Chains A and B, each alone.
Chain A
């Protein structure tokens, strides 16, 4: 699996298909990060950690 921000999902899906893995699980995180503080980024990470763990374990979203 991989992790992608919303701005890069198109790229991620297209590239996964190009590399023969169209079903690659992608955990999607809201973009952008650039305007967020480190604490806010930490909060986003905590919100999506369960999704990431599930995808790493091989379960689809």
Chain B
């Protein structure tokens, strides 16, 4: 964006962590967890990792359309406890979430529990220590925890999506605190996500996904056909925004499951095609009222929808997305999407 905004206001605050956290709590500038005070020195350290001027507006963030300047992103990164080297990831993620196809307005203001899942690919993942292996969607890795948290603070503090105000989530979900991992590229039998999406293998990227949550898929089968059937049956989920609107569901395949599929000679594209076919759901599984919503939303795509109509989870097989993530074990994760959203990938260029 060719826009700049004034530098952030400075507050005199007591040199007392508890007092500062009281201030953040009162003003609702936190996510409910204690913050790292964004002192001038800490913000300056963070800003050394940006190429652009501090006052440059990276994006206008819905629903409040606050100006996400480089400096304001840095302040939220400090609050979240990020290493200064992570700032470029956050700048790229902020640029990504405001792309129209991501539908940030809907994601921020909806009653749906949707969180923003960040996937880091390329050399930056290792350099920053973004965990792609054991427990990569869980706790324990500083980069995963703080990068995901920092983006949430950007969305809340700059975008204005405060729970109960402009964030209208009925219940929300734990991923709204933080939701970030890297792809386990070393363990993947296929091209990594960023290469599939048109970037060079040496590029570093961030991909943002409007993710409803995580559903574990634990199966010990070694048969590719059975594995795909188990995945497809997990995807069939009647009260689902993906089936309602034609979405972009994701699977984070454990390396062992990915290897089974690869050994059977299946490409990523073929896995997607078979999942798309296998997860077609009889419309009668939905409630009558939800079927009316599907008719409104997908009538142009699918024609008249009756109880026997087989609903595909997405418009096209290629709209199902796969990454390989995690460590050893017989687990993969299904991550349904918000439905009205498309993932966006941006190169980390700072």
Contact = CB atoms under 8 A, between A and B. Distances in A.
Interface string A15-29: 100110000000000
B64 interface: yes
Contacts of B109: 11, 15
A10 B165 contact: yes
B39 to A, nearest CB: 29
B168 A8 contact: yes
B168 A7 contact: yes
Interface in B231-261: none
A14 interface: yes
Contacts of A19: 65
Contacts of A15: 63-64, 109, 166
B313 to A, nearest CB: 23
Contacts of B160: 14, 18
Nearest to B60: A18
A18 B65 contact: yes
Interface residues of B, number: 11
B288 to A, nearest CB: 12
A18 B64 contact: yes
Nearest to A10: B165
A33 B129 CA distance: 47
Interface in B277-292: 289
B165 A11 contact: yes
B168 A14 contact: no
B165 A14 contact: yes
A11 B168 contact: yes
A31 to B, nearest CB: 11
Interface in B39-71: 63-66
Interface in A25-52: 34
Contacts of B64: 14-15, 18
Contacts of A10: 164-166
Nearest to B109: A11
A28 to B, nearest CB: 15
A20 to B, nearest CB: 9
Contacts of A11: 63, 109, 165-166, 168
A8 B160 CA distance: 15
Nearest to B63: A15
Interface in B98-124: 109
Nearest to A11: B166
| Most B CB within 10 A of own CB, among A10, A18, A19 | A18
A14 B160 CA distance: 9
A15 B109 CA distance: 10
Q: Which 9 A-B pairs give the minimum distances between C-beta atoms?
A: A18-B64, A11-B166, A18-B65, A15-B63, A14-B166, A10-B165, A11-B109, A11-B168, A14-B165
26 contacts: A7-B168, A8-B168, A10-B164, A10-B165, A10-B166, A11-B63, A11-B109, A11-B165, A11-B166, A11-B168, A14-B63, A14-B64, A14-B160, A14-B165, A14-B166, A15-B63, A15-B64, A15-B109, A15-B166, A18-B63, A18-B64, A18-B65, A18-B66, A18-B160, A19-B65, A34-B289
Interface of B: 63-66, 109, 160, 164-166, 168, 289
Given A7-B168, A15-B166, 11 more contacts: A10-B164, A11-B63, A11-B109, A11-B165, A11-B168, A14-B165, A15-B64, A15-B109, A18-B64, A18-B65, A19-B65
